[in-house]
Amino acid sequence: MHERKEHININLVADLCLVHFMAYGGYSYLDEKYSPARNDIIMLIWARGRERIEKIAEAIAAESSIGTWTKLKTLNKEVWKLRARVFRIDKIAENAGFIYIAYPLEHFEIENVLQLSASVFGNLFGLKELYEMRILDITFPRRFQSKFEGPLHGMEGLRKYVGTLKSRRPHVGTIVKPKVGLNPKQFAKVAYESYMGGIDFVKDDENLVDQKFCRFKQRVNEMLKIIDRVEKRTGRKVLYSPNITARLCDMMDRIDYLHDHGWVMAMIDVYIIGFGALQDVIDELKRRKMFIHAHRAGYGALERGNYGISFGIFEKFYRLFGVDELHVGTGVGKMEGSPVHVRFLRDIIYEQKIKGMYYMGKLDYEWNKKIKTVFPVASGGLNAGLCDGVAAVHGRDVIMQAGGGVHGHPGGTRAGAKSMLQAAEAISKGIPLPKYAKTHKELKAALKRWGYLDPSKVRSQMKFTHRNKESLNRLVEKTGIKGINIINFGF
């Protein structure tokens, strides 16, 4: 009896919702005639739920701006001006689609992106109307961007330091492997072999910081000694990014230590430490004129589920705050990311203007002039044989980074490093790797060990995704967020 009563009540509520589907909590946030103002922040969201998509969109707009579930005696005209407006819905099904929302800038405490996060990445994720939701993109207007400085050095600064401004060849980097466990001397020895083979840049892995077996300060001391040796022997400038990720106070101590010892670079697990600490630590590194390597470990937990935030959105924050190089995926290696999606992720930090050429979930965007280009890092499962494929996705302005692909080379670390540099040289000379391998034995050994990825296969996948909007729409219609995952991540 009790169950039946509840059933009737639910139906009644559902009917009321249908009648009033143009409103949430008594107010309507749907305004399809609205054309966003110059200073609005725009968000693009995929959502599917138990209500009509219009109703879901209203709920999202309300909860992420001024609204709640019911009418308020306290809501006045001034407050109403601060509301979010749903100005477009690309409906895929009755209960699913792409929602475009505009937020007036006055809604936010601009420099405080944590306040912004609590609004637009906050309660909306818990709304019970939803089955799935991903925030796919965001745009920041010029006035918002002008509150941030962007990278101090950026890609050109890194190229200048390493001496590749003219040649424009891809940089080659390595992560010392095994990722944890080596002691400081062993670690530095692996780095030495890497540099001597031609690697420009060595980095700690994301989970190596200051463990007992490899103390941060000892590791830095050993690394500074060998960098000095390498630079004297080769006449080249090389880089190393020690991972300083920790509580803010410890990160500040580590920056002091590096700076006091004359070192110029540090690495941060940017997603792990969160926006607030990240801004503080970046400001401090910039004050010391240091280079910043940004590792994105952990972002997948927020991006890849039924509810999430696309990594491209994080990239926009990281570029605004001012990292100099950032992991964005390879399109061909061990981590998710279809070539066309990785190209988009690369373009966010590389281009000044992003327009039209991508499939779903992407908004046009323009960076303020003073916000420099971040050097894109392609990493994860790479080896020399994949590098033509990496170049097909990224072009030549890329840091091609390999851990296993260097230290797992049949000839050892130095040969692995050589194979990566040879691949970079071949790419900048426009020579296909198999041809270059005929006269370069380390590259030849890498291709023999791991094979060669023909870049034309990568290029054809990128074209496929741009051209088939209709069929991709049908895929998303059938499978919801799974379709978006197939398009963006390839699974």
- Residues near ligand CAP (CB under 6 A) are 175, 177, 179, 205-206, 296, 327, 329, 334-335, 379-382, 402-405
Residue nearest to ligand CAP (CB): 403
Q: Does residue 444 have an active-site annotation?
A: no
Q: What is the DSSP string of 84-145?
A: -EEEEEEEEETTEEEEEEEE-GGGS-TT-HHHHHHHHTTGGGG-TTEEEEEEEEEE--HHHH
Closer to Mg ion by CB, 116 or 190: give it: 190
Choose the contact partner of 382 out of Mg ion, ligand CAP, none; CB within 5 to 8 A by kind: ligand CAP
Q: Which stretch binds Mg ion (CB under 5 A): 205-213, 264-272, 437-445, 480-488?
A: 205-213
Rounded least distance, CB 380 to ligand CAP, Å: 3
Q: What is the DSSP string of 351-418?
A: -SEE-S-S-SS---EE--TTSPPPEEEEESS--GGGHHHHHHHH-SS-EEE-SHHHHTSTT-HHHHHH
- Other beta carbons less than 10 A from residue 314's beta carbon: 21
From the candidates 55, 177, 203, 409, give the one annotated as an active-site residue: 177
Rounded least distance, CB 163 to ligand CAP, Å: 24
Residue 205 interacts with Mg ion (CB under 5 A): yes or no? yes
CA dist., res. 327 & res. 282, Å (int): 16
H or E stretch covering 44: strand 41-49
Choose the contact partner of 380 out of ligand CAP, Mg ion, none; CB within 5 to 8 A by kind: ligand CAP
Q: Does residue 203 have an active-site annotation?
A: no
CA dist., res. 101 & res. 58, Å (int): 10
- Other beta carbons less than 10 A from residue 368's beta carbon: 16
Choose the contact partner of 255 out of Mg ion, ligand CAP, none; CB within 5 to 8 A by kind: none
From the candidates 295, 341, 394, 409, give the one annotated as an active-site residue: 295
Closer to ligand CAP by CB, 85 or 293: give it: 293
Choose the contact partner of 381 out of Mg ion, ligand CAP, none; CB within 5 to 8 A by kind: ligand CAP
Closer to Mg ion by CB, 177 or 319: give it: 177
Residue nearest to Mg ion (CB): 205
Closer to ligand CAP by CB, 49 or 385: give it: 385
Q: Which residues pair with 101 in a beta bridge?
A: 43, 86
**Taking a C-beta distance cutoff of 8 angstroms, is the pair 161, 291 a contact?**
yes
Give the position of tokens 């005929």.
438
Rounded least distance, CB 175 to ligand CAP, Å: 4
Q: What type of residue is 409?
A: H
Give the position of tokens 């792990």.
272
Rounded least distance, CB 403 to ligand CAP, Å: 3
Closer to ligand CAP by CB, 149 or 205: give it: 205
Sequence length of the chain is: 491
Residues that bind Mg ion (CB under 5 A): 205-206
Residues acting as catalytic residues: 177, 295
